[in-house]
Protein backbone atom coordinates (compact mmCIF):
# COMPACT_ATOMS: atom_id res chain seq x y z
CA UNK A 1 0.00 0.00 0.00
CA UNK A 2 2.71 2.50 0.94
CA UNK A 3 5.79 0.62 -0.22
CA UNK A 4 7.03 3.22 -2.74
CA UNK A 5 6.54 6.11 -0.33
CA UNK A 6 8.30 4.19 2.43
CA UNK A 7 11.19 3.43 0.08
CA UNK A 8 11.62 7.04 -1.01
CA UNK A 9 11.24 8.47 2.52
CA UNK A 10 12.68 5.85 4.85
CA UNK A 11 13.13 6.24 8.59
CA UNK A 12 16.39 4.40 8.14
CA UNK A 13 18.13 2.04 5.72
CA UNK A 14 19.81 -0.93 7.37
CA UNK A 15 22.62 -2.56 5.42
CA UNK A 16 24.05 -5.86 6.55
CA UNK A 17 27.54 -6.10 5.10
CA UNK A 18 30.89 -7.69 5.86
CA UNK A 19 32.59 -6.28 2.76
CA UNK A 20 33.82 -2.67 2.64
CA UNK A 21 33.45 -2.32 -1.14
CA UNK A 22 29.86 -3.59 -1.01
CA UNK A 23 29.15 -1.14 1.82
CA UNK A 24 30.46 1.81 -0.21
CA UNK A 25 28.40 0.76 -3.23
CA UNK A 26 25.29 0.70 -1.08
CA UNK A 27 26.09 4.16 0.26
CA UNK A 28 26.37 5.45 -3.32
CA UNK A 29 23.16 3.71 -4.34
CA UNK A 30 21.14 5.26 -1.52
CA UNK A 31 22.81 8.70 -1.58
CA UNK A 32 20.12 10.30 -3.84
CA UNK A 33 17.34 9.09 -1.56
CA UNK A 34 19.07 10.07 1.69
CA UNK A 35 20.33 13.51 0.60
CA UNK A 36 18.94 15.46 3.54
CA UNK A 37 19.76 13.01 6.32
CA UNK A 38 22.24 10.19 6.61
CA UNK A 39 19.93 7.43 7.73
CA UNK A 40 21.97 4.49 6.51
CA UNK A 41 23.00 2.11 9.26
CA UNK A 42 25.69 -0.46 8.53
CA UNK A 43 26.06 -3.57 10.64
CA UNK A 44 26.97 -7.22 10.28
CA UNK A 45 24.53 -9.31 8.20
CA UNK A 46 23.20 -11.31 11.16
CA UNK A 47 22.37 -8.16 13.13
CA UNK A 48 20.71 -6.59 10.08
CA UNK A 49 18.56 -9.66 9.54
CA UNK A 50 17.57 -9.81 13.20
CA UNK A 51 16.80 -6.07 13.17
CA UNK A 52 14.27 -6.59 10.39
CA UNK A 53 12.50 -9.41 12.22
CA UNK A 54 12.70 -7.59 15.56
CA UNK A 55 11.12 -4.42 14.13
CA UNK A 56 8.09 -6.27 12.78
CA UNK A 57 7.84 -8.36 15.95
CA UNK A 58 7.81 -5.18 18.05
CA UNK A 59 5.00 -3.66 15.95
CA UNK A 60 3.02 -6.90 16.09
CA UNK A 61 3.53 -6.94 19.86
CA UNK A 62 2.00 -3.48 20.20
CA UNK A 63 -1.03 -4.61 18.21
CA UNK A 64 -1.56 -7.78 20.24
CA UNK A 65 -0.99 -5.89 23.48
CA UNK A 66 -3.70 -3.38 22.61
CA UNK A 67 -6.07 -6.11 21.50
CA UNK A 68 -5.64 -7.93 24.80
CA UNK A 69 -6.24 -4.67 26.67
CA UNK A 70 -9.33 -4.06 24.52
CA UNK A 71 -10.78 -7.39 25.59
CA UNK A 72 -10.14 -6.45 29.21
CA UNK A 73 -11.67 -3.00 28.64
CA UNK A 74 -14.92 -4.65 27.57
CA UNK A 75 -15.06 -6.57 30.84
CA UNK A 76 -14.29 -3.46 32.89
CA UNK A 77 -16.63 -1.12 31.05
CA UNK A 78 -13.69 1.00 29.87
CA UNK A 79 -13.11 2.47 26.41
CA UNK A 80 -9.97 1.29 24.63
CA UNK A 81 -9.97 4.42 22.46
CA UNK A 82 -9.60 6.57 25.58
CA UNK A 83 -6.87 4.21 26.82
CA UNK A 84 -5.08 4.54 23.48
CA UNK A 85 -5.03 8.32 23.79
CA UNK A 86 -4.00 8.07 27.42
CA UNK A 87 -0.92 5.95 26.78
CA UNK A 88 -0.11 7.20 23.28
CA UNK A 89 0.30 10.76 24.55
CA UNK A 90 3.30 9.53 26.54
CA UNK A 91 6.24 10.40 24.27
CA UNK A 92 7.98 7.19 25.30
CA UNK A 93 5.14 5.18 23.77
CA UNK A 94 3.58 7.21 20.93
CA UNK A 95 0.42 6.45 18.97
CA UNK A 96 1.62 4.18 16.16
CA UNK A 97 0.26 0.63 16.06
CA UNK A 98 -1.93 1.12 19.13
CA UNK A 99 -5.28 0.58 17.42
CA UNK A 100 -7.36 -2.29 18.74
CA UNK A 101 -9.17 -4.42 16.20
CA UNK A 102 -9.49 -7.90 14.75
CA UNK A 103 -5.78 -8.63 14.56
CA UNK A 104 -2.96 -8.19 12.09
CA UNK A 105 -2.55 -10.03 8.80
CA UNK A 106 -0.56 -9.73 5.60
CA UNK A 107 2.70 -11.42 4.78
CA UNK A 108 5.33 -9.63 6.89
CA UNK A 109 4.09 -9.76 10.46
CA UNK A 110 2.92 -13.40 10.51
CA UNK A 111 5.93 -14.57 8.51
CA UNK A 112 8.50 -12.71 10.60
CA UNK A 113 6.95 -13.77 13.90
CA UNK A 114 7.09 -17.40 12.75
CA UNK A 115 10.65 -16.97 11.50
CA UNK A 116 11.76 -15.72 14.92
CA UNK A 117 10.01 -18.61 16.62
CA UNK A 118 11.59 -21.13 14.25
CA UNK A 119 15.08 -19.63 14.57
CA UNK A 120 14.86 -19.57 18.35
CA UNK A 121 13.77 -23.21 18.32
CA UNK A 122 16.82 -24.15 16.26
CA UNK A 123 18.99 -22.75 19.04
CA UNK A 124 17.03 -24.39 21.83
CA UNK A 125 15.20 -21.24 22.88
CA UNK A 126 11.55 -20.32 23.30
CA UNK A 127 10.57 -16.67 22.81
CA UNK A 128 7.72 -16.42 25.30
CA UNK A 129 6.63 -12.90 24.38
CA UNK A 130 6.74 -13.60 20.65
CA UNK A 131 4.77 -16.81 21.19
CA UNK A 132 2.14 -14.85 23.12
CA UNK A 133 1.90 -12.21 20.37
CA UNK A 134 1.00 -14.85 17.80
CA UNK A 135 -1.41 -16.63 20.14
CA UNK A 136 -3.25 -13.40 20.97
CA UNK A 137 -3.49 -12.53 17.28
CA UNK A 138 -4.98 -15.91 16.37
CA UNK A 139 -7.56 -15.50 19.12
CA UNK A 140 -8.32 -11.89 18.19
CA UNK A 141 -9.33 -12.85 14.66
CA UNK A 142 -12.19 -14.81 16.24
CA UNK A 143 -13.52 -11.87 18.31
CA UNK A 144 -16.03 -10.65 15.74
CA UNK A 145 -17.30 -14.20 15.27
CA UNK A 146 -17.73 -14.49 19.04
CA UNK A 147 -19.79 -11.29 19.05
CA UNK A 148 -21.90 -12.48 16.10
CA UNK A 149 -22.62 -15.80 17.82
CA UNK A 150 -23.47 -14.03 21.05
CA UNK A 151 -25.99 -11.85 19.21
CA UNK A 152 -27.46 -14.31 16.69
CA UNK A 153 -26.73 -17.75 18.13
CA UNK A 154 -24.29 -20.56 17.37
CA UNK A 155 -26.01 -21.69 14.18
CA UNK A 156 -26.45 -19.04 11.51
CA UNK A 157 -28.45 -20.95 8.91
CA UNK A 158 -30.56 -18.56 6.88
CA UNK A 159 -28.61 -15.53 8.09
CA UNK A 160 -27.02 -13.09 5.67
CA UNK A 161 -24.12 -10.83 6.60
CA UNK A 162 -22.69 -7.84 4.78
CA UNK A 163 -18.92 -7.55 5.09
CA UNK A 164 -16.99 -4.34 4.40
CA UNK A 165 -13.30 -4.90 3.80
CA UNK A 166 -11.40 -7.92 2.51
CA UNK A 167 -7.76 -6.80 2.36
CA UNK A 168 -5.70 -7.21 5.52
CA UNK A 169 -5.19 -3.43 5.61
CA UNK A 170 -6.24 -0.40 3.51
CA UNK A 171 -4.53 0.59 0.25
CA UNK A 172 -3.72 -2.94 -0.86
CA UNK A 173 -5.45 -5.96 -2.38
CA UNK A 174 -3.38 -8.34 -0.26
CA UNK A 175 -5.52 -10.92 1.54
CA UNK A 176 -2.73 -13.10 2.90
CA UNK A 177 -3.54 -13.96 6.55
CA UNK A 178 -6.35 -11.37 6.38
CA UNK A 179 -8.80 -11.35 9.31
CA UNK A 180 -11.61 -11.18 6.74
CA UNK A 181 -10.86 -14.75 5.71
CA UNK A 182 -11.26 -16.01 9.27
CA UNK A 183 -14.54 -14.11 9.60
CA UNK A 184 -15.92 -15.32 6.27
CA UNK A 185 -14.88 -18.92 6.85
CA UNK A 186 -16.38 -18.89 10.34
CA UNK A 187 -19.71 -17.48 9.15
CA UNK A 188 -19.98 -19.89 6.24
CA UNK A 189 -19.10 -22.87 8.46
CA UNK A 190 -22.12 -21.98 10.59
CA UNK A 191 -24.47 -21.84 7.62
CA UNK A 192 -24.49 -18.10 6.88
CA UNK A 193 -24.36 -16.27 3.57
CA UNK A 194 -21.79 -13.48 3.14
CA UNK A 195 -21.98 -10.53 0.74
CA UNK A 196 -18.64 -8.72 0.68
CA UNK A 197 -17.29 -5.43 -0.66
CA UNK A 198 -13.76 -4.06 -0.86
CA UNK A 199 -12.49 -1.16 -3.03
CA UNK A 200 -9.56 -3.12 -4.53
CA UNK A 201 -9.43 -6.69 -3.19
CA UNK A 202 -12.55 -8.07 -4.91
CA UNK A 203 -10.57 -9.78 -7.65
CA UNK A 204 -8.37 -11.57 -5.16
CA UNK A 205 -11.40 -12.51 -3.06
CA UNK A 206 -13.23 -13.91 -6.08
CA UNK A 207 -10.20 -16.09 -6.81
CA UNK A 208 -10.01 -17.34 -3.20
CA UNK A 209 -13.75 -18.04 -2.91
CA UNK A 210 -14.39 -19.10 -6.50
CA UNK A 211 -15.93 -22.41 -5.41
CA UNK A 212 -17.77 -21.10 -2.35
CA UNK A 213 -21.41 -20.50 -3.24
CA UNK A 214 -22.20 -18.94 0.15
CA UNK A 215 -19.92 -15.99 -0.61
CA UNK A 216 -20.92 -13.29 -3.09
CA UNK A 217 -19.78 -9.76 -3.84
CA UNK A 218 -21.46 -6.36 -4.13
CA UNK A 219 -20.43 -3.50 -6.39
CA UNK A 220 -20.86 -0.86 -3.67
CA UNK A 221 -20.78 -0.85 0.14
CA UNK A 222 -24.45 0.09 0.35
CA UNK A 223 -25.49 -2.67 -2.08
CA UNK A 224 -23.85 -5.23 0.19
CA UNK A 225 -26.31 -4.30 2.94
CA UNK A 226 -29.47 -5.30 1.07
CA UNK A 227 -31.40 -7.79 3.19
CA UNK A 228 -28.45 -8.50 5.48
CA UNK A 229 -29.02 -9.33 9.14
CA UNK A 230 -25.98 -7.26 10.11
CA UNK A 231 -22.94 -5.40 8.79
CA UNK A 232 -19.42 -6.49 9.74
CA UNK A 233 -16.57 -4.00 9.19
CA UNK A 234 -13.19 -5.72 8.87
CA UNK A 235 -10.86 -3.29 7.03
CA UNK A 236 -10.54 0.40 7.88
CA UNK A 237 -10.86 1.86 4.38
CA UNK A 238 -11.43 5.63 4.39
CA UNK A 239 -14.66 5.30 2.41
CA UNK A 240 -16.19 3.35 5.30
CA UNK A 241 -15.56 6.11 7.85
CA UNK A 242 -18.57 8.30 7.01
CA UNK A 243 -21.44 5.95 6.21
CA UNK A 244 -24.95 6.99 5.20
CA UNK A 245 -26.61 5.82 8.39
CA UNK A 246 -30.16 6.30 7.08
CA UNK A 247 -29.38 4.15 4.04
CA UNK A 248 -27.68 1.65 6.28
CA UNK A 249 -30.83 1.28 8.41
CA UNK A 250 -33.07 1.04 5.35
CA UNK A 251 -31.01 -1.65 3.63
CA UNK A 252 -30.21 -3.85 6.63
CA UNK A 253 -32.87 -6.31 7.78
CA UNK A 254 -31.89 -5.45 11.35
CA UNK A 255 -29.81 -2.36 12.24
CA UNK A 256 -26.84 -4.21 13.70
CA UNK A 257 -23.17 -3.31 13.08
CA UNK A 258 -20.11 -5.26 14.20
CA UNK A 259 -17.17 -2.88 13.87
CA UNK A 260 -13.86 -4.72 13.87
CA UNK A 261 -11.85 -1.51 13.46
CA UNK A 262 -13.60 0.91 15.81
CA UNK A 263 -14.39 3.34 13.01
CA UNK A 264 -17.51 4.82 14.56
CA UNK A 265 -18.42 6.54 17.79
CA UNK A 266 -20.56 4.15 19.87
CA UNK A 267 -22.77 6.89 21.27
CA UNK A 268 -23.48 8.30 17.80
CA UNK A 269 -24.37 4.88 16.46
CA UNK A 270 -26.75 4.25 19.33
CA UNK A 271 -28.36 7.66 18.85
CA UNK A 272 -28.90 6.75 15.20
CA UNK A 273 -30.79 3.64 16.29
CA UNK A 274 -28.07 1.13 15.42
CA UNK A 275 -27.13 -1.78 17.65
CA UNK A 276 -23.38 -1.40 17.71
CA UNK A 277 -20.66 -3.87 18.70
CA UNK A 278 -17.05 -2.70 18.59
CA UNK A 279 -13.69 -3.87 19.98
CA UNK A 280 -13.00 -2.72 23.53
CA UNK A 281 -15.43 0.21 23.47
CA UNK A 282 -17.40 1.19 26.54
CA UNK A 283 -20.94 -0.25 26.76
CA UNK A 284 -24.03 1.91 26.77
CA UNK A 285 -24.55 4.06 29.89
CA UNK A 286 -26.21 2.04 32.63
CA UNK A 287 -25.31 -1.30 31.04
CA UNK A 288 -23.69 -4.05 33.06
CA UNK A 289 -20.22 -4.44 31.47
CA UNK A 290 -20.01 -8.00 32.72
CA UNK A 291 -23.07 -8.94 30.67
CA UNK A 292 -22.15 -7.20 27.43
Q: Model confidence over 79-137: pLDDT tens digits?
A: 999 999 999 999 999 999 999 999 999 989 999 999 999 999 999 999 999 999 999 99
Beta partners for 16?
Answer: 43
The CA–CA distances, whole Å, from 233 to 80, 104, 163, 243 equal: 18, 15, 6, 11
Rounded CA gap, 265 and 121, in Å?
44
Helix (H) or strand (E) holding 40, with range, is strand 40-43
The active-site residue out of 83, 108, 175, 182 is 108
Rounded Cα distance between 214 and 57, Å, is: 36
Q: What pLDDT does residue 33 have?
A: 85
Q: State yes or no: is 272 an active-site residue.
A: no
Provide the pLDDT for residue 283: 59
pLDDT at 263 over 90: yes
What rounded mean pLDDT belongs to the chain?
Answer: 94
Statement: residue 70 has pLDDT above 60 = yes
| Burial status of residue 260 (CB atoms within 10 A of its CB: 0-12, 13-18, 19 or more) | buried
pTM of the model: 0.91
Amino acid sequence: GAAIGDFMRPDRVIVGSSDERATQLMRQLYAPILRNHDRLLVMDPRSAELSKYAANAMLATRISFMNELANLAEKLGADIESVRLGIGSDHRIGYDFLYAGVGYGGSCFPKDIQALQHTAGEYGMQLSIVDAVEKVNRTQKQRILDKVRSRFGEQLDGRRFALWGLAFKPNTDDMREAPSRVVINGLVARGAQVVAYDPVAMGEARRIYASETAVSFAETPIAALDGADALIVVTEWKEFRSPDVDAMKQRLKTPVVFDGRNLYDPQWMRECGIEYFAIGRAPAPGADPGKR
